[in-house]
Chains A and B, each alone.
Chain A
Amino acid sequence: MSAIEISNLNFVYSKKTPNEKQALKNINLSVEEGAFLGLVGATGSGKSTLIQHLNGLIKPQDKKRMSVVVNGMSATDRKNLKKLRFEVGMVFQYPEYQLFEDTVAKDVAFGPKNMKLDKEEIDRRVRRALEVVGLDYDKFASRSPFDLSGGEKRRVAIAGVIAMQPKILVLDEPVAGLDPIGRREILALVKKLQKEVSPTVIIVSHNMDDMAQLADRIVALKDGEIIADGTPKQVFCNRNLIKEAGLDLPTATSLADMLIARGVELPRDIVTMEELAKELGASLRKKRSQAVADDNDETKIGEDADGGFYAESYDEDVEVEGVEVNGVEVNGVEDPDGEDEDV
């Protein structure tokens, strides 16, 4: 089933003024339920305008010719608007700037309250949302959101959105401005949210490495038009197109290109660091086993003197990387004052 169906969508800002600008051109896009879609494009390519159509913040300018249908509801129909806002959870850039209540619990409850849920249900959702984003209810519920660290504030803001249990979660640059551990935690959280709360996720990002790793589909915009739509491999390996769109290649892809240019044999479709490490490891093993085989026909692959480059050992490392998300536990050093405020 399609979660989102967009057809013939055009959008012009400041129509009939000298500043007229066509932000979207003939967008046709269908997003399946369960997709993890990465929306990429240079600044000004129309990403934000497009996502604001998904919950009716911007309405199609021509109801007859254009349509935006979300979960079977037309976004042009006023009576669907409220439901649309609840079903499409929008996490804008720097969402922590939108926190406004005096306690964390009240802030997270704002959305569910607007849904006219009963008090118990609201309370249940607030607890659940805080738990999902990794904030302990008893510790955080009564604190002021403004006393929290940057990463914690962002979690509270995300909790406020998912407390409405949206079926579609849209995040605009969710890790902008966070430190490296914060980035890692929020990205792991988005994956978790897809599994536990919102089956369809659309994420807007300038970080091609993150997109290559997380998304199963990439849509690239340029000057308001969709210029590529496919798997991360299909889109990112189209080097000319990525360049034309004003985007960077994923680090792994550009590094692989550097190596290929220097005569190293590698596949041309590498987009993640994991793939690159795996390929390079395999090349090294092959080269070494050949060297060993030349010396001594008896030696088996993987038993080289240095040891430790069995295929399995690599997979284990990746697993460990994947769960190593909590910076506080990683660094494990106690703060002498027990304070960890943002400054």
Chain B
Amino acid sequence: MSEFQIEIKGASYSYPVREGYNVKAVRNLSLSIRKGEFVALTGMNGSGKSTLAKLLNGLFQPNEGEILIDGISTADEDNTFEIRKKVGMVFQNPDNQTVATIIEDDIAFGPENIGVEREEIIKRVDEALEAVGMSEYRTRTASKLSGGQKQRIAIAGVLAMKPDILILDESTAMLDPNGRKEIMDVACRLNRSGITVVNITHNMDEAALADRIVVLRKGRVAIDGTPKEVFASGLIEACGLTLPPITELARELEKEGFEFDGVVINAEELAEGLCRLLK
């Protein structure tokens, strides 16, 4: 078995837009992710992030190349069930991911569909709600929740399937700052418990929280490294992105004569570096 949990080997995917006109969203892309990694997948609108996510759980099949999840190819239809179970996805809009009125029914929907025993379903619903900190909402209706809470319920629904990999496809984009924080806290906690997390985002502060950032540009991997490596690469703007506000500020300050140890990616580091020079 390979040392990688996710292996994308030279995958390409095109959308037909109109007759005789295709858009290549993913082009001959290769990427490997280890079990337990926390990866931020970023890139400007149209860079192929969401297409790649849909390739990962077999919603789309690559036109060329191959995608393996724990060594299993997504191309084989017999594996679709297995892949969907392994790779859980949470989408952008908190308002269209619930299927039932009552929260516990909503979370039970996935395991019910794959024929999990009743006792086991109850246990999974308990655990999933606990993991996202929503246990007390068990018998409430989803429509009354805040955006952040709705997304936590969506994550719980995925967790009830016992996935190995959690993909957040811009799941925080429509949330307010508090909702964003809630989701990122849950994602970090799940990652610590062993789940591989792929967070698709174009919020650079959020990307900086990951262990590894993969930047896509025109359907290919343009930059791949730790947040510090990626933000120090000097290629972020060329990929249509910007540095996190703190990193941007540090750069401005360097023009003013300040010097920092390498690239600064969080407020703590910046404050420390500044104090050293000013006190």
Taking Cβ atoms with an 8 Å cutoff, the residues of A that contact B are 42-44, 147, 149-151, 176-182, 184, 206, 209, 246-248, 251-252, 254-255, 258-259, 262-264, 273, 276-277, 280-281, 283-285, 287-288, 304, 306, 308-309, 313-314, 317, 327, 330-333, 335-337, 339-343
Contacts and interface: CB of A to CB of B under 8 A. Distances in A.
Contacts of B174: 176-177
Given A43-B179, A206-B177, A258-B267, A306 B257 contact: yes
Given A281-B253, A283-B278, A314-B255, A255 B271 contact: yes
Contact of B218 (A277, A288, A335): A335
Contacts of B270: 255
B178 to A, nearest CB: 7
B274 A177 contact: no
Nearest to A263: B279
Interface in B164-216: 170, 173-174, 176-179, 202, 204
Contacts of B275: 259, 262-264
B88 interface: no
Contacts of A151: 45
B146 interface: yes
B271 A181 contact: no
Given A255-B246, A317-B255, A341-B46, A280 B238 contact: no
Interface residues of B, number: 52
A337 B268 CA distance: 43
Interface string B39-64: 00001111110110000000000000
Interface string B101-114: 00000000000000
B267 A255 contact: yes
B240 A181 contact: yes
B238 A182 contact: no
A151 B240 CA distance: 12
Given A255-B246, A259-B271, A284 B46 contact: no
A23 to B, nearest CB: 15
B278 A182 contact: no
Given A254-B267, A284-B277, A331-B238, A43 B176 contact: yes
Given A181-B240, A254-B267, A263-B279, A341 B255 contact: no
Given A273-B252, A281-B256, A304-B257, 10 more contacts: A150-B45, A179-B44, A179-B45, A180-B44, A248-B177, A259-B275, A280-B256, A287-B277, A317-B252, A341-B17
Contacts of A336: 218
Interface in B234-279: 237-242, 245-246, 248-249, 252-253, 255-258, 267-268, 270-271, 274-275, 277-279
Contacts of B239: 331
